[in-house]
Amino acid sequence: MHDTTLQQELGAIVGDAYALFDPGDHTRFVNDWFGREGGRARCVLRPRSTAEVAAVVACCARHGVPVVPQGGNTGLAGGALPDQSAAQCVLSLERMTAVREIDPAGKTLTVEAGAVLAHVHAAAREQFMEFPLTMGSQGSATIGGLLSTNAGGTAVLRHGNARALCLGLEVVTPQGEVWNGLRRLRKDNTGYDLRDLYIGAEGTLGIITAAVLTLVPTPKARLAAMVSVTSPEQALLLLQAVQQRAGALLTAFELISDDCLRLVAQYFPQLPHPFGAQAAPWAVLLELSDHESEGHAFELMEGLLGEALEGGLVKDALIPQSLAQSARFWDMREHIPLAQVEDGKNVKHDISLPISAIPRFLQEAGPLLEALHPGARIIAFGHVGDGNLHYNVAAPPGRPPAEVLDRKAAIHATVHDLVVRLGGSISAEHGIGRMKAAELAHYKSPLEMRLFESVKRALDPLGLMNPGKVLLARQP
Ligand SMILES: Cc1cc2nc3c(=O)[nH]c(=O)nc-3n(C[C@H](O)[C@H](O)[C@H](O)COP(=O)(O)OP(=O)(O)OC[C@H]3O[C@@H](n4cnc5c(N)ncnc54)[C@H](O)[C@@H]3O)c2cc1C
């Protein structure tokens, strides 16, 4: 089919200004947040309603054109990018941002898939509630992308991941039909859970156009403190002690290696190392969310950390004097990915482990990588309360990033073999995208892969919905 026909048909659906066929208009849609893994698109489509999405998908299906759904393009697995063939259409949800409904009594918010997470936070705040999914990319990541990757972030410990915060979905199927599953039910045992199938599917089974999200009451105070600990084992003992005392008030527990804090201080001098030269090898950022009062939060934090210091669980503790000071600790945490960008590319791993296996993983992975690439730097941090580590391997000091990037496959294999041996997962919260599709096939059992493929074939028999993501592209 000649592109003019496709251009005319798609232009008639979304308007010519929103059917972009000139590659000069594609730059921000074909490169991800890090500016890496770029592809080439046949066109970029920017519909503004569910009906337009459905018509676009039906048109692409008629013409055999693959569709790549895209939200904020902050995904870290290459899932929202077209391949190099210039045959795929990027379908961006960025114009679909409306909050359709807020139900204060039922504590739900129904929103279109292109809404940016920070805007959803603001809409919830207006109702004196909050949507508790939070992460460094919240200024750009969209609800559709967050659900499609089943994103995690910093409050999973208390509120669960994106899946746990979604009650219903509206989805355009690969055939261009609209499934209205926008239910506001907390209990619904009526057959297979299609919602759960689409969440985490990374756009390979259909396009999410709207979602019902759950809201929670806003706490009176959210207070973060930073402590230094001598080992990951100590961090886990602290986690247990804090959970015992604070229960559900503990909303985040982040493990940060000293090297991460030094990297942040190096590239962002306005955020100096909190413990200075005497720092222990690890730090923990913990957060309490208190529904009673600010005073109660401070009192509880002081009590908890006082006991931890006395009991030798922590080496040092920084208890903020104000909520503003507490926000600064989050600033440091959120600048770790940014400091890594400044520092140069590295080999990234987003892994999860049974929480109790984290110390063993850290103990065994370091020497294995040192043997593979002497001097390589480990940048390790993560949502350790959920068993999730971001374990990144950078070139030795003063050496070019290419040194480790050239050995990416061997480094991934070393880390992921160990993760799987310890009962963990090769993707905790970033998904599989196209970057880990081959590894997924390697590490999952043949039966699990066959079941995945049956689901894909049943819902997307033509294989046009985000091909090559999660599952390797089918051979023609
Ligand atoms: C600085 C930074 C910090 C981050 N921190 C975290 C973190 O703490 N926790 C975490 O989990 N992630 C984190 N991420 C990763 C990223 O923000 C999440 O993966 C997010 O969910 C992606 O949302 P998005 O709208 O940008 O999706 P995109 O990148 O556009 O897409 C991601 C995937 O979802 C699919 N998709 C997008 N929209 C739809 C839709 N409407 N329907 C169907 N499929 C769709 C795409 O095809 C792709 O496969 C971070 C990223 C950055 C850059």
SS3 content of the chain, % helix, strand, coil (to 5): 40, 20, 40
Model confidence at 340: pLDDT above 90: yes
294 with 405, same domain: the answer is no
150 with 175, same domain: the answer is yes
CA of 143 to the centre of ligand 1 (A): 9
Instruction: Show the tokens assigned to 87.
Output: 């045959």
Q: Give me the DSSP letters along 306-335.
A: HHHHHTTS-SEEE--SSHHHHHHHHHHHHH
CA of 145 to the centre of ligand 1 (A): 4
Any domain includes 432: no
Any domain includes 438: no
CA of 281 to the centre of ligand 1 (A): 31
Q: Which domain holds residue 60?
A: 3-92
Spatial distance between the Cα atoms of 288 and 230, rounded to a whole number of angstroms:
22
In tens, the pLDDT along 252-275 reads 999 999 999 999 999 999 999 999
In tens, the pLDDT along 377-393 reads 999 999 998 999 999 99
Spatial distance between the Cα atoms of 294 and 302, rounded to a whole number of angstroms:
12
In the prediction, which pLDDT does 36 show?
A: 66
178 with 110, same domain: the answer is yes
Nearest-CA residue for ligand 1 atom 20 is 146
CB of 203 within 6 A of ligand 1: the answer is: yes
CA of 151 to the centre of ligand 1 (A): 7
173 with 233, same domain: the answer is no
166 with 262, same domain: the answer is no
In the prediction, which pLDDT does 37 show?
A: 61
246 with 332, same domain: the answer is yes
Please count the other Cβ atoms lying within 10 Å of the Cβ belonging to residue 399: 15
Nearest-CA residue for ligand 1 atom 52 is 137
CB of 149 within 6 A of ligand 1: the answer is: yes
Per-residue confidence band for 2, with pLDDT thresholds at 50, 70 and 90: low
For the CA of 148, the closest atom of ligand 1 is: 34
Nearest-CA residue for ligand 1 atom 8 is 153
87 with 106, same domain: the answer is no
CB of 110 within 6 A of ligand 1: the answer is: no
First to last CA, the chain: 18
HEC string of 354-416 equals CHHHHHHHHHHHHHHHHHHCCCCEEEEEECHHHCEEEEEEECCCCCCCHHHHCCHHHHHHHHH
pTM: 0.94
To test the ligand 1 pocket, which listed residue (30, 135, 338, 388) has its Cβ within 8 A of the most ligand atoms?
Answer: 135
CB of 33 within 6 A of ligand 1: the answer is: yes
Any domain includes 104: yes
In the prediction, which pLDDT does 1 show?
A: 54
CATH at residue 187: 3.30.465.10
For the CA of 171, the closest atom of ligand 1 is: 42
CB of 466 within 6 A of ligand 1: the answer is: yes
Any domain includes 365: yes
DSSP class of 88: P
Q: How far is CA 278 from CA 73, 247, 266, in A?
A: 40, 31, 17
Amino acid at 353: L
Any domain includes 448: no
Any domain includes 88: yes
180 with 241, same domain: the answer is no
Coil, strand or helix at 79: coil
In the prediction, which pLDDT does 389 show?
A: 96
DSSP class of 142: B
CATH at residue 25: 3.30.43.10
CATH at residue 392: 3.30.70.2740
In tens, the pLDDT along 121-160 reads 999 999 999 999 999 899 999 999 999 999 998 889 999 9
Spatial distance between the Cα atoms of 76 and 60, rounded to a whole number of angstroms:
26
Spatial distance between the Cα atoms of 141 and 326, rounded to a whole number of angstroms:
24
370 with 397, same domain: the answer is yes
For the CA of 338, the closest atom of ligand 1 is: 1
Domain boundary among the residues 308, 342, 376 is at 342
User: Tokens 């294999």 belong to which residue?
Assistant: 413
CATH at residue 312: 3.30.70.2190
Any domain includes 56: yes
Instruction: Show the tokens assigned to 377.
Output: 């730097």
Domain boundary among the residues 310, 342, 374 is at 342
In tens, the pLDDT along 200-248 reads 999 999 999 999 999 999 999 999 999 999 999 999 999 999 999 999 9
Please count the other Cβ atoms lying within 10 Å of the Cβ belonging to residue 179: 15
183 with 241, same domain: the answer is no
CB of 359 within 6 A of ligand 1: the answer is: no
Percent of the chain with pLDDT over 90: 93
318 with 206, same domain: the answer is no
Spatial distance between the Cα atoms of 258 and 279, rounded to a whole number of angstroms:
7
DSSP class of 107: T
CB of 214 within 6 A of ligand 1: the answer is: no
* Mean of per-residue pLDDT scores for the chain: 95
In the prediction, which pLDDT does 34 show?
A: 72
Domain boundary among the residues 300, 317, 342 is at 342
To test the ligand 1 pocket, which listed residue (32, 73, 76, 197) has its Cβ within 8 A of the most ligand atoms?
Answer: 76
CB of 430 within 6 A of ligand 1: the answer is: yes
Number of residues written out for the chain: 476
Sort strands 207-214 and 108-112 into parallel, antiparallel or unpaired: antiparallel
Model confidence at 476: pLDDT above 60: no
Instruction: Show the tokens assigned to 343.
Output: 């520092």
In the prediction, which pLDDT does 278 show?
A: 79
In tens, the pLDDT along 273-305 reads 999 887 899 999 999 999 999 999 999 999 999
Model confidence at 310: pLDDT above 70: yes
Spatial distance between the Cα atoms of 406 and 418, rounded to a whole number of angstroms:
21
In tens, the pLDDT along 5-57 reads 999 999 999 999 999 999 999 999 999 877 766 899 999 999 999 999 999 99
CA of 133 to the centre of ligand 1 (A): 12
CA of 399 to the centre of ligand 1 (A): 31
202 with 131, same domain: the answer is yes
Per-residue confidence band for 86, with pLDDT thresholds at 50, 70 and 90: very high
Please return the burial class of 3, using the count of CB atoms within 10 Å of its CB with bins 0-12, 13-18 and 19+: exposed
Any domain includes 245: yes
Instruction: Show the tokens assigned to 397.
Output: 């000091």
DSSP class of 150: T
Give the chain's domain count.
Answer: 4
